[in-house]
Structure 1
Amino acid sequence: MIVKTKKFALDKKKYINLAFTRQIKKSWQWLLIPLAIMLLGVGLHFSGVYKNWWILISAFIGGLLYIAFWYIQFYAATQMEQNAQMFDKFAYEIDSRQIMIKVNKREGGVIKWDTIQSAEKLEDSGFLLNIARGQFLHFPKNVFNSDHDLKLMDNILRRKGLID
């Protein structure tokens, strides 16, 4: 059985949102360092040992810079010419052997299932197949031709062990 999708493109804003939130969720523990330093600064200030706010302010700015760094990385990826192909319109044919990306009826490419690291079933917007950091395939629910195709996609991902 083959799942065929309509021709669609990944929206740049959707890409930034998905990639950024996935990265922050994956590396949230790094945000604990500025938080601990801020708590240390507040503790030192109010205990009277070291009355200065620069520790708190520096840690807060450091945390903001960490978040801004990742946001800028994913925003910049949408502006680079070599990534322009990620946002072109493609149709997909998905089966248990491969994912066929079709530019038109005669041109396209293939992604083997072993390159997919993980998958997520998004409650509101379909499926997300993770390839690497910042690289994924997003299949919104509205690109599938029928509910049967949506269920078949879910079945293929379950058989591959990518979703529970």
Structure 2
Amino acid sequence: MLIKTKKYKLEPALYIKTAMLELLKKQWWYIVGPVALACLAFIWPSWWFISIAILIVVLYLLFWAVQFAGVTQLEQNKMLFQKMNYEIDGRQILMKISERQGMPVNWDMIKTAKKTKDHYLLSLSKAQFIYLPFNIFTNPNDLKMMDTYLKRKNLLTDNAPKTAVS
């Protein structure tokens, strides 16, 4: 069965926010290390422990924010931020700008999938993902079929939240 969605444009600000949140969920221990260093200031009081810890965390977050903001400016990634619709079937996800222009994404290119209360997030790499809000699906059966595709590809577990279409 083919799922056809409404046209949707991923905003760069939403991309950066989502990418940063996903990065922090996956690499939270990079924040814990400098915080542990700052805790040493209680054992051996020195202002530079706290300063270095704060500087490391800020530079790490700034580095990734710049990387994700740069993705929105690259010519090869412009397609991700154009208005497009999606055609999803058992073989691939076809991202279509127009009837003649599009890009196929095979299911084996997707590393992980996450279902939240209002969207699907299909990760291709650390900086590339497909963001599919529920409101672009035309009916509830399309959402159920999307769940089925993700489960068949072992990308989604059964403990994902239930969906509600408005």
Q: TM-score, normalised by structure 2?
A: 0.89
Residue 58 of structure 1 is matched in structure 2 by 52
- Structure 1 contact 42–56 (Cα < 8 Å) conserved: no
1:147 deviates by: 1.0
Per-residue Cα deviation, 1:83-142 (whole angstroms, up to 9, x for no partner): 22210111111011111122212332211111111101111x221111111101011011
CA RMSD of aligned residues (A): 1.3
1:13 deviates by: 1.2
Residue 150 of structure 2 is matched in structure 1 by 157
Of 110-119 and 70-79, more deviation after overlay is shown by 70-79
Residue 93 of structure 2 is matched in structure 1 by 99
Residue 161 of structure 2 is matched in structure 1 by none
Indicate the SS of the match to 2:95: strand
Indicate the SS of the match to 1:134: coil
Question: Are 2:133 and 1:140 aligned?
Answer: yes
- Is there any run of 5+ residues in structure 1 with no aligned partner, and where? 46-51
AA matched with 1:133:
K
Residue 13 of structure 1 is matched in structure 2 by 13
Residue 48 of structure 1 is matched in structure 2 by none
- Work out the number of aligned pairs and report it: 157
AA matched with 2:68:
F
Indicate the SS of the match to 1:93: strand
Question: Are 2:85 and 1:86 aligned?
Answer: no
Separation of aligned partners in 2, 1:106 and 1:81: 20
Indicate the SS of the match to 1:100: strand
AA matched with 2:99:
K
1:144 deviates by: 0.5
User: With CA pairs under 8 Å and 6+ residues apart, which has the higher RCO, 1 or 2?
Assistant: 1
Identity over aligned pairs, percent: 39
Separation of aligned partners in 2, 1:83 and 1:97: 23
- Structure 1 contact 115–131 (Cα < 8 Å) conserved: yes
Indicate the SS of the match to 1:101: strand
Q: TM-score, normalised by structure 1?
A: 0.90
Separation of aligned partners in 1, 2:123 and 2:52: 35
Change (3 A) 1:108 1:79: closer
Residue 113 of structure 1 is matched in structure 2 by 107
Separation of aligned partners in 2, 1:66 and 1:141: 32
Change (3 A) 1:84 1:107: closer
Indicate the SS of the match to 2:124: strand
Indicate the SS of the match to 2:131: strand
